[in-house]
Amino acid sequence: MRVVSLVPSLTEAVAESAPGVLAAATDWCTRPADLDVVRIGGTKNPDVDRITALAPDLVIANEEENRAPDLDALRAAGLRVLVTEVRTVAQAFPELSRVLGACGADERPPWLTRAEAAWSALPPPARRTTAVVPIWRRPWMVLGRDTFAGDVLARLGVDHRYAGHPERYPRIGLEELRAAAPDVVVLPDEPYRFTADDGPEAFPGLPCALVSGRHLTWYGPSLAEAPRVLGEALRAAHR
């Protein structure tokens, strides 16, 4: 079995669960840290010709992270393409099982069992808070409706202000974001790398939580520790 992954979180999941199966991955596939495979471009601009030349048994992709024209081109070249849809935590577990099974994993990996248990055992939040969640600046973009990250935060007691927006990742002006007066501004380190020196200064007077983008947006082994890691970062913003 030779697999090409176009999704960083799926790359990590397959590498941890079916060692030796991955033949190639995107430039953004940074986990595991020692991953040594052919690189085939970005998630939005994969090198279709190079992927085709590798003759993989399977290409794994995601309906949000990858573009339909690229996936269509891979199919037209005769490749089998498995496309996931993960917009909630609950969706992540069966989709991960489906991917790992297609990649030849012999049994359910322990990390997946731990991840499902971690989210199932999560107690109801003691209180709910409101947030805005920028994912980009210049221009400012935030989480909108129907996103995996939004569901992750909701399960941790954080309701983001634009969950009802018609768009999934709307562009919202900075003045409007400030005027939304959230309890906290959640600033992940991907896709835009917000840091202590780049992001919080735009929201004077508002608590800012710098969080791991991998734990907020990836569905893979990081799911097992995401409730704890994100919870600690959110609590730290209010100290």
Task: State the Cα–Cα distance between residues 110 and 86, nearest whole angstrom.
Answer: 20
Q: Average pLDDT for residues 22-49, to the nearest whole number?
A: 96
* Mean of pLDDT values over 127-154: 97
Q: 141-142 and 134-136 as β-strands: parallel, antiparallel, unpaired? A: antiparallel
Contact 52, 74 (CB under 8 A): yes
Looking at residue 239, what is its pLDDT?
66
Q: Looking at residue 9, what is its pLDDT?
A: 97
The H or E element that residue 135 is part of is strand 134-136
Question: If DSSP codes are grouped into helix, strand and coil, which group holds residue 23?
Answer: strand
Quote the pLDDT of residue 88: 97
**pLDDT for 182-231, tens place per residue?**
999 999 999 999 999 999 999 999 999 999 999 999 999 999 999 999 99
Closest CA to 196 of 179, 208, 180: 208
238 has pLDDT over 80: no
Q: What percent of the chain has pLDDT over 90?
A: 96
Tokens of 234: 């959110």
Span 2-17, pLDDT tens digits: 999 999 999 999 999 9
3-state secondary structure 28-43: CCCCCCCCCCEECECC
| DSSP secondary structure of 169-227 | S-B--HHHHHHT--SEEEEESSSS--BTTBSGGGSTTS-EEEE-HHHHH--SGGGGTHH
Instruction: Look over the chain and give the mean of its residue pLDDT values, rounded to a whole number.
Output: 96
Residue identified by tokens 């052919």 is 38
182-194 pLDDT, tens digit each: 999 999 999 999 9
User: 149 pLDDT exceeds 90?
Assistant: yes
Whether residue 69 is predicted with pLDDT greater than 90 in this model: the reply is yes
Give the mean model confidence (pLDDT) for residues 140-154. 98
What does the pLDDT average to over 163-184? 97
Distance of CA 193 to the CA centre of its chain: 14
Residue range 74-112, pLDDT digits in tens: 999 999 999 999 999 999 999 999 999 999 998 899 999
Backbone angles phi, psi at 2, to 5 degrees: -125, 125
